[in-house]
């Protein structure tokens, strides 16, 4: 068996197979209809088989059913898959578990099952096997940054399919930043009219002398967002939108200059930022700013029905607040002590605002500075420390430490690695990543909702570069997030590499431009484009 992520329990019965053919039917139990629709449309296209409706007690049938008692683990994402000489039965503890079981069935059919049309002469057969499986974490996330380099809607839908194929279930959608605003807000149309495009783009790291001298931009209409959210939901993926405040907001200030610190700089002269790094232009801590973003979030909540809304909160440079009489008066008025306290007040305001509407705030670990808002969850990106602090204080945490699961970091130290950023993080490094820090007690560890890999796109100028940075490492990350692996040093990376040999063929069938094990292909290189490599082993803290 070459399944990725590795299932919890597998028993293979001999070397025989059950072969599917034109008469193979599909028996659909109550609650299994969504998985059946996906299977017919996706596997039907790949195999050319009609998979017509059939009786559950017949032979030559794939049975799909939902039964909460199917596994000892009652979680709705658990599933069981049994293949005999007469057919296959996939049963989930809930609809999500059934869907993940169907993903495993697809992998067992072979790489051609990942194509969009049948290959001539292909045999469709399943090994006789029994699988029981359930995920380690409820949050198995991927963050895609579409603010730095916009990805059209079809590309986002493709990424949701790639996530589903790897049993990832949280799509963190980074929609706003200094370099672009990507979601239509009808009451504030200039956010997209002005804020969704920039005049030019830095090519490579911000120290690079190279520029792409043409406008870059794009945004998603509200109907686009509804389509993306519905498409994700059909694949049991929750979309978590990120609307950055109070930093990373230059695109919004360029569109609406009154949002910035007007007593410090002429905000009417600002444009959407064309460089990388951290912009000093942050939101003014005024009532006008709060009301503006409440209006933004009202529309965001209408578009995204999930529990969490990400408000960023990271890398908010406070120099303008230090120089601003308005900001200093606000600090004194609120009694929050200093600029860190002012940011904490800002975050707490939106934590209470979201809580009153039945939602939860999540932010990067800088929201710990000045005191964490009650009810807020933390994306721990600056290592483990922020997550440990939050968990010990009783707050939920998503572990995504930069030095381990930022997939914009380089994959090797060779000279052909394109635009090398950060530490070397190999496939094996990602496979040995452990999301739960050893210093947490069992009770504290319960606050670790899961883990997330992040794709920041400053140096990923097109979808091919995103593919290259993500894969194959995202497959290793998916196994870390799903499977109950042993301690990092005890993990069987040789077995994972063996299974990856089959998985590369699946990625080929899906058209994924992954980094080959032997290094980048000629067209994947970016000779002469400067990056920012960091030498040595990353800090493990």
Active-site residue set: 177, 248, 315
Q: Distance between CA atoms of 242 and 173, rounded to whole angstroms? A: 6
Estimate the crossing angle of helix 222-234 against helix 287-303, to 10 degrees: 50
- As a whole number of angstroms, the distance between CA 205 and CA 419 comes to 7
Q: What token pair was written down for 160?
A: 């949701």
Main-chain phi, psi angles of 492, to 5 degrees = -90, 80
Q: Residue 46: how many CB atoms within 10 A of its CB?
A: 23
Beta bridge partners of 212: 201
Distances (CA, A) of 1 to 18, 319, 395, 520: 15, 56, 39, 28
CB 196 within 8 A of CB 158: no
- Kindly tell me the burial class for residue 504, based on how many C-beta atoms sit within 10 Å of its own C-beta (0-12, 13-18, 19 or more): middle
> Nearest 5°: phi and psi at 105?
-55, -40
Residue 324 near residue 284, CB atoms below 8 Å = yes
DSSP category for residue 294: H
What are the φ and ψ backbone dihedral angles of 45, each rounded to 5 degrees?
-65, -40
Cα 27 versus chain centre, distance? 33
DSSP 8-state assignment for residue 84 = E
Residue 147 and residue 174 in contact, taking contact as beta carbons nearer than 8 Å:
yes
Which are the contacts of 80, defined by CB distance < 8 A and separation ≥ 6? 70, 71, 89, 90, 91, 92, 101, 130, 131, 132, 133
Q: Which residues contact 386 (CB under 8 A, 6 or more apart)?
A: 365, 368, 378, 380
Q: Are strands 170-174 and 238-245 parallel, antiparallel or unpaired?
A: parallel
Which helix (H) or strand (E) is 512 found in, with range? none
Q: What are phi and psi of 333, to 5 degrees?
A: -60, -40
Contact 211, 200 (CB under 8 A): yes
Q: d(Cα 156, Cα 145) in Å, to the nearest integer?
A: 11
Question: How big is the chain by its Cα radius of gyration, in Å?
Answer: 24
Nearest to 257 by CA among 202, 342, 188, 318: 188
Six-digit token string for 174: 């980074």
Torsion of CA 34, 39, 40, 43, to 10 degrees: 160
């Amino acid at each position: 068996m070459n399944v990725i992520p590795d299932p919890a329990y597998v028993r293979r019965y001999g070397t025989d197979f059950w072969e599917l053919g034109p008469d193979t039917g599909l028996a659909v139990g109550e609650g299994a209809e969504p998985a059946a629709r996906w299977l017919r449309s996706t596997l039907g296209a790949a195999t050319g088989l009609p998979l017509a409706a059939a009786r559950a007690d017949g032979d030559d049938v794939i049975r799909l059913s939902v039964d909460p008692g199917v596994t000892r683990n009652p979680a709705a994402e658990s599933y069981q898959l049994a293949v005999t000489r007469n057919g296959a039965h996939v049963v989930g503890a809930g609809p999500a578990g059934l869907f993940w079981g169907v993903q495993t069935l697809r992998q067992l059919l072979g790489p051609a099952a990942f194509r969009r049309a049948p290959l001539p002469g292909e045999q469709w057969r399943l090994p006789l096997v029994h699988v029981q499986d359930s995920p380690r974490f409820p949050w198995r996330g991927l963050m895609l940054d579409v603010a730095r380099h916009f990805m059209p809607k079809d590309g986002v839908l493709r990424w949701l399919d790639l996530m589903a194929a790897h049993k990832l279930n949280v799509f963190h959608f980074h929609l706003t930043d200094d370099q672009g605003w990507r979601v239509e807000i009808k009451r504030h149309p200039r956010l997209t009219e002005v804020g969704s495009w920039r005049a030019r783009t830095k090519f490579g790291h911000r120290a690079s002398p190279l520029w792409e001298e043409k406008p870059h931009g794009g945004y998603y209409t509200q109907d686009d967002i509804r389509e993306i959210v519905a498409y994700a939901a059909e694949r049991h993926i929750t979309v978590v939108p990120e609307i950055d405040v109070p930093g990373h907001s230059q695109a919004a200030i360029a569109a609406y200059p009154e949002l910035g610190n007007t007593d410090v700089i002429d905000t009417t002269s600002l444009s959407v930022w064309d460089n990388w790094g951290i912009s000093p232009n942050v939101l003014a801590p005024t009532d006008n700013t709060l009301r503006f973003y409440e209006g933004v979030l009202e529309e965001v909540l209408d578009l995204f029905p999930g529990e969490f809304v990400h408000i960023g909160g990271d890398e908010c440079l406070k120099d303008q607040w230090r120089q601003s009489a308005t900001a200093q008066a606000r600090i004194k008025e609120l009694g929050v002590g200093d600029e860190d306290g002012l940011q904490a007040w800002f975050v707490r305001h939106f934590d209470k605002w979201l809580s009153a509407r039945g939602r939860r705030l999540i932010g990067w670990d800088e929201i710990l500075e000045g005191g964490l808002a009650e009810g807020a969850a933390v994306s721990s990106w600056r290592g483990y420390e922020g997550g440990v602090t939050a968990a010990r204080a009783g707050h939920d945490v998503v572990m995504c430490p930069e030095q381990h699961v930022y997939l914009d970091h380089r994959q090797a130290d060779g000279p052909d690695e394109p635009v090398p950023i950060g530490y070397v993080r190999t496939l094996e490094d990602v496979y040995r990543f452990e999301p739960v820090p050893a210093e947490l007690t069992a009770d504290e560890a319960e606050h670790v909702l899961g883990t997330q890999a992040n794709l920041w796109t400053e140096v990923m100028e097109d979808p091919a570069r995103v593919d290259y940075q993500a894969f194959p490492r995202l497959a290793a990350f998916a196994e870390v997030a799903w499977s109950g692996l042993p301690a990092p040093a005890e993990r069987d990376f040789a077995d994972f590499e063996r299974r990856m040999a089959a998985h590369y063929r699946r990625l080929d069938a899906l058209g994924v431009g992954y980094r080959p094990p032997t290094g980048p292909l000629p067209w994947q290189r970016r000779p002469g484009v400067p990056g920012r490599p960091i030498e040595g082993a990353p800090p493990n803290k």
